[in-house]
Amino acid sequence: MLAAVLREPGRIVVENWEIPEPQPGQVQVRVRAGGICGSDLSYYFKGKSGDFAMKEPFVLGHEIAGEVTAIGDDVTEVKVGQRVAVNPGLNCGTCRFCVRGMTNHCLHMRFLGSASVFPHMQGAFREYINVAERQCVAVPGDFDFAMASMAEPLAVTLHTLRHLPSLIGAKVLVVGCGPIGCLLVAGARRAGAQTVTAIDLAEPALAKAREMGADETFSAADTSLAETWMQRRGTFDVVIEASGSPAGLDTALRAALAGGTVLQVGNMPAGQSPVAINFIMSKELRYLGSFRFGAEYATAVEEIVRGKMDLRPLMTHRFPLHDANAAFSMAQDRSQSMKVHLDFD
């Protein structure tokens, strides 16, 4: 089988690997589509994502769907031939976070395509992968694989929304309009926000945010905005930081209304970030975080299968596996792309 191995930052080599046999409890999935995530881009271009640094060549990819080609012993529900979306996170189920339902904080989490552990968890940008049966969520027999793989970013979005106070009647600002930011625009809209405002540096991203339901959008390059939003002790009841940049968080803290909520879902650079943190005190803000997802993955698959949210505007490009380097360059180019998928024929 072919596997897209990140040998060093900026260089993926498609290599020939043995197809592994599924172990007891495992399902062998023929991967058919994989979305490139912001964390994949970060590993590809910088060799690290947040605090996780690449220390050996590894396969990226955690937003995938495919077809079941074999099952190991003790697999009870999943059948050969079924199409499945694959939850990239396998939690242990017994550690102190798992038993509290905080499965995304599992002490023994095995998350596909992550350098959080060493040896790294090999990812899913390859033709075959074995996963635990409980990582598989079935989709209809004719369902589009790339669409099914969008369950991962949608699950991140649903987990984020779960942390927020009620958005009914709220003025919401989304900072950063990548796929997650755009999904949060749609999610906030659906959750009853009075207005959803979005801000980003790239005009094409803002156009997507409008397509996903933003009432108004602003360029982050407009420096007068922060001042305007500040002068009334802030403007927005809820600000979602989805850019993962210190400048984005700085804007979020300035734009939040006194007594409001700022939620961090963007993955910030490693180390310390210079931001106007004193606003948390002076405006009595609540500053929350959201990391990955738990049970929301299955919910996200169901929402996508039922067509409850139109994700097609976000799916902008598809590349064959052997053009993985070109796919990553396109995914990095925010003037052209939103979510880029690798296709595995």
Binding site for Zn ion (CB under 5 A): 37, 63, 91-92, 95, 98, 106, 152
* Minimum distance, C-beta of residue 211 to Zn ion, in the bound complex (Å): 21
CA distance 30 to 209: 33
Q: Which is nearer to Zn ion, 263 or 331 (CB)?
A: 331
Considering beta carbons, is residue 94 or 166 the nearer one to Zn ion? 94
Closer to Zn ion by Cβ: residue 47 or 287: 47
Nearer to Zn ion, 285 or 314 (CB): 314
Least Cβ distance, residue 107 to Zn ion (angstroms):
5
The least distance separating Zn ion from the CB of residue 111, rounded to whole angstroms, comes to: 10
| Residue (95 or 138) nearer to Zn ion, CB | 95
User: What is the closest distance, in whole angstroms, from the C-beta atom of residue 113 to Zn ion in the complex?
Assistant: 9
Report d(CA 214, CA 208) in Å as an integer. Answer: 9
Q: Select 106 or 212, whichever has its Cβ closest to Zn ion.
A: 106
- Minimum separation from the CB atom of position 220 to Zn ion (A): 22
The nearer residue to Zn ion, 229 or 293, going by C-beta atoms, is: 293
Question: In whole angstroms, how close is the CB of 277 to Zn ion at the nearest point?
Answer: 27
- Smallest gap from Cβ 99 to Zn ion, in A, equals 8
